[in-house]
Amino acid sequence: MATLTLLQAINDGLRTAMRDDPSVLVFGEDVGKKGGVFLATENLQKEFGAKRCFDTPLSEDGIVGAAIGMAMNGLKPVAEIQFQDFIFPAFDQIVSEAAKLRYRSGGQYTAPLVIRTPYGGGIRGGLYHSQSGEAYFCHTPGLKVVVPSTPHDAKGLLLASIADPDPVLFLEPKALYRSVKGEVPEGSYRVELSTLREARAGKDVTVFCYGAMVPVSLKAAEESLASGIDVRVVDLRTLLPLDEEGVLEHARSTGRVVVVHEAPRFCGFGAEISALIAEHAIEYMEAPVVRVTGFDTPFPNTLEHHYLPDHRRVLDAIERVAHF
């Protein structure tokens, strides 16, 4: 197996899907000859031609609207929104059209499309290039929301998303694009959607996280051993549909839970995890669920390192629930 970065794994996944299925198309702003702003689509146009990998106008609603039309007519579009921050002009197309197509047509039509977009902080991009908007879309039945954290999962989840019969929002943690490496199988394979992953075994505290917060949580878990706390780290991978039984199983096992994400705290995805545990596993809990999140402010520029949760904030939360 090759050792790839997360970015290389995504590129490999796109190339694999396009080789296996001529109905797969890749398009978005600067994804063609340039290969995308982060080079996720590098050399795809060279191999597959400008009819299957092409640039679009700077129009997010046009990109997603075209993808819906293609998907309804037998193609498998993979549309890129250059930064997740720019996805909101296409919000209506995603939540009012793509997500509802199967329901409103009584199952006659659906929208098998993937919308790829880098999200989150880590590159000092300021308030217009660093947001984490997953919670907006997790509130929408009919969508799937996927967030990889390892190269292996990035490729496998992407291939599973392209094969899925419904629309998938594929959020790529740009902070991890080149900072993580891992073994990635050659050829086609899939990581099943709606399945979480135990990234680290532990018996005292469970930390639920996803995306760029997985390595942060793993570092905090390693340091917690010095205090005698054995921490389990669970990578959610798919936020919608969530593996609810998996979450409850891990929560019941340790009775102490921390949830970590870089989006703002209020109405963030961590609130859903907290509510799920409160409703279905409260009798197993030895401490309140603690959330470690971004702050309820616009994403800062010079103070990014204060805004983003780091291993020290996660470690503090672990110690609080362990000693409650």
pLDDT at res. 73: 95
pLDDT at res. 273: 98
Name the residue among 42, 49, 56, 55 with its Cα closest to residue 14.
Answer: 42
pLDDT at res. 51: 96
Cβ-based neighbour number of residue 166 at 10 Å? 18
Q: Active-site residue numbers?
A: 129
Structure tokens at 153: 């999962």
What architecture is the 2-184 domain classified under in CATH?
A: 3-Layer(aba) Sandwich (3.40)
Residue 25: HSE in the Cβ half-sphere, 13 Å Cα cutoff: 25
Q: pTM higher than 0.85 for the full model?
A: yes
Common-topology check for domains 2-184 and 197-322? yes
Ordered alpha helix ranges (H), the chain: 6-20, 44-48, 60-72, 91-92, 101-104, 134-138, 151-163, 213-224, 244-254, 269-280, 304-307, 311-322
* Digitized pLDDT (tens) for each residue of the chain, 324 residues in all: 899 999 999 999 999 999 999 999 999 999 999 999 999 999 999 999 999 999 999 999 999 999 999 999 999 999 999 999 999 999 999 999 999 999 999 999 999 999 999 999 988 888 899 999 999 999 999 999 999 999 999 999 999 999 999 999 999 999 999 999 999 999 999 999 999 999 999 999 999 999 999 999 999 999 999 999 999 999 999 999 999 999 999 999 999 999 999 999 999 999 999 999 999 999 999 999 999 999 999 999 889 999 999 999 999 999 999 999
pLDDT at res. 43: 97
**Cα–Cα separations (whole angstroms), residue 163 to 157, 186, 193:** 10, 18, 11
Structure tokens at 66: 């075209």
pLDDT at res. 93: 97
Is domain 197-322 given the CATH code 3.30.70.120 in the classification? no
pLDDT at res. 267: 97
pLDDT at res. 302: 87
Domain boundaries, the chain: 2-184, 197-322
